Amino acid sequence: MLDGFTPWPKEFADRYRERGHWGGRTLGSLLRQRAAATPEAIAVVDGDRRWTYRDLDERADRLAAGLHGLGLASGDRVLVHLPNIAEFLELSFALFRLGALPVMALPAHREAEIGHLLALSEAVAYVIPDTHLGFDHRPLARTVGQKAPALRHVLVAGDPQEFTALASLSAEPRPLPEPDPSDVALLLLSGGTTGAPKLIPRTHDDYLYNAAASAAVTGLTSGTRYLAALPVAHNFPLACPGLLGTLHAGGTVVMCPHPSPDTAFPLIARERVTVTALVPSLALLWLEAAEWADDDLGSLELLQVGGSRLKAEAARRIGPELGCRLQQVFGMAEGLLCYTRLDDRDDLVLDTQGRPLSEDDELRIVDAEDHEAPDGEVGELLVRGPYTLRGYYRADDHNARAFTEDGFYRSGDLVRRLPSGHLVVEGRIKDVINRGGEKVPVEEVENHLLAHPAVLDVAVVGLPDTRLGERSCACVVPRGTPPSRADLIAHLTGRGLAAFKLPDEVKALGSFPRTALGKVDKAALIRQVSA
């Protein structure tokens, strides 16, 4: 068992097996079985390349053999820093079969994050593209490589220069021992918007369940054509249900190099995409673009939106303007996933962030003293279950704070539960501005501001203030002429908002700083507007 991994206690593991959640299969076998069932079906489309299930299966075997020949072994970590290209799947399955663990870095990561991840994981190999969206990854590999004593190989998808070409590693398949399904299969990154990312161990058993159960609630079939628009190393497009869920269902993954409408819309039309996943800011951008774009989006049946709170104003526009159904997803790389269901009433789909995926997800909603909050009240969400971690990788001190004694993960999310079991995410523990003692609920103010015709996107932040402690600042990306503060105040007052919730300041910006996944980076935004 991987050192630095916290397994589930035996009685929980036994229960998850008895209940059929953990099937005792590896992620590598998922592809093996699909390739046996429908070898000629298209598994992945990347530009002009179309790989069948047989192609992908064989490529994964050949690469696994090549990596083995290079000296990579079960339990080794490999930092994967690839964009949305077919090689991502080939490599991931090769590593799953070898029992080596991909560490899923995001394309936007640079020297600080990559250096940190190499040190924390002690990865023996680092896999990069030659260039991606104008950024040459080889100089980055040179720089970080000097400070990573455990690193032995830099593997490059494309022109390797002095490094090793990924394509050169293809070798005659060799028998490899099957990894233990209860052992760690990959390491995901925590999605916090502050601090250095932590590593989240996900086992074959738990991640396969994550993908398969997600594919079921999302209604994926062999006819599914999933557009991978968000960076595929992230949990949402990777397994919620994403790439792995689509392959599990026997569908086709369409790799999208960039999530902008210019790139995504023509691909949706050409490949007859049926489902995709976006973060709210991108969903807004797609809504804007759909007004003038003439690409045929008629094949799109379902748009999943998650990662941060989708404001009701935006949620309402998705059905009519994109011509597809909306599914809200509230998830975390740590595990728990909540989905609105395909047959949920409209008000639940528009106004909630869904209900837990598994009947064995155990949720507690607690007040500041860890006491159960009264029914329907907002509190912090604590969770444990068949696909929620019991500890971050190599993080004993942090784990002592991030988990309760009995193994619940403290999500830091403030939620409220409806009688139907659906959750409404009201913010983060810290996403409240304390304005001289009055608590300004950030999400609520943002939602009202978004309804203003001149507001394309908005983020409300607290800035240090000598008098109030914190004052509120509404950062606005305008649609056309920026609205004045007086405009917005009149709008908010007109909607009946309490005076203390009115922004003390308004700043118009061209765009917001974003995290690697595309969430608004509020820490960076605060630095930017207070500079």
Binding residues (CB under 6 A) for ligand OOB: these are 191, 235-236, 240, 306-309, 328-333, 337, 353, 411, 413, 425, 428, 517
Residue closer to ligand OOB (CB basis): 306 or 407: 306
Select from 154, 148, 83 the least CA-distant residue to 115.
Answer: 148
What stretch of H or E contains 493? helix 485-494
Residue closer to ligand OOB (CB basis): 55 or 457: 457
Burial of 331-341, coded b for 16+ CB within 10 Å and e otherwise, reads bbbbbbbbbbe
Nearest to 334 by CA among 286, 391, 267, 273: 391
Q: For ligand OOB, which is the closer residue by CB, 29 or 352? A: 352
Shortest separation between residue 214's beta carbon and ligand OOB, angstroms: 9
Q: Name which of 90 and 413 has its Cβ closer to ligand OOB.
A: 413
Strands 275-278 vs 225-228: parallel, antiparallel or unpaired: parallel
Closest approach, Cβ 32 to ligand OOB, in A, equals 26
Residue tagged 């991640």 (tokens): 207
CB of 309 to ligand OOB, least distance (A): 4
Return d(Cα 341, Cα 304) in angstroms, integer.
11
| Separation in Å, CA 250 to CA 130, 193, 303 | 31, 34, 19
Query: Closest separation between CB of residue 104 and ligand OOB, Å?
Result: 11
State the Cα–Cα distance between residues 137 and 157, nearest whole angstrom: 10
Smallest Cα–Cα separation from 20: which of 227, 212, 242?
Answer: 212
Three-class SS state of 486: helix
Residue whose CB is less far from ligand OOB, 144 or 314 = 314
Would you say 99 or 407 has its CB closer to ligand OOB? Answer: 407
DSSP of 99-121: T-EEEE--TT--HHHHHHHHHHH
- Minimum Å gap between C-beta 441 and ligand OOB is 14
* Smallest distance, ligand OOB to C-beta of residue 20, A: 23
Cβ closer to ligand OOB: 274 or 308? Answer: 308
Q: Which residue is nearest to ligand OOB (CB)?
A: 191
Exposure class string for 160-189: b at 16+ Cβ within 10 A, else e: beebbebeebbbebeebeebbbbbbbbbbb
Sole residue written with tokens 């860890």: 370
The amino acid that residue 244 corresponds to is L
Distance in angstroms between the alpha carbons of the first and the last residue of the chain? 48
Task: Kindly state the tokens that stand for 305.
Answer: 């939106």
Least distance in angstroms from the C-beta of 25 to ligand OOB: 22
In the complex, what is the shortest distance from the CB of residue 353 to ligand OOB, in angstroms, rounded to a whole number?
Answer: 4
Toward ligand OOB, which CB reaches closer, 141 or 315? Answer: 315
Cβ neighbourhood burial of 374 (10 Å; 0-12, 13-18, 19+)? exposed
CB of 151 to ligand OOB, least distance (A): 26
Q: Which is nearer to ligand OOB, 274 or 328 (CB)?
A: 328
Judge contact between 34 and 54, C-beta under 8 A. Answer: no
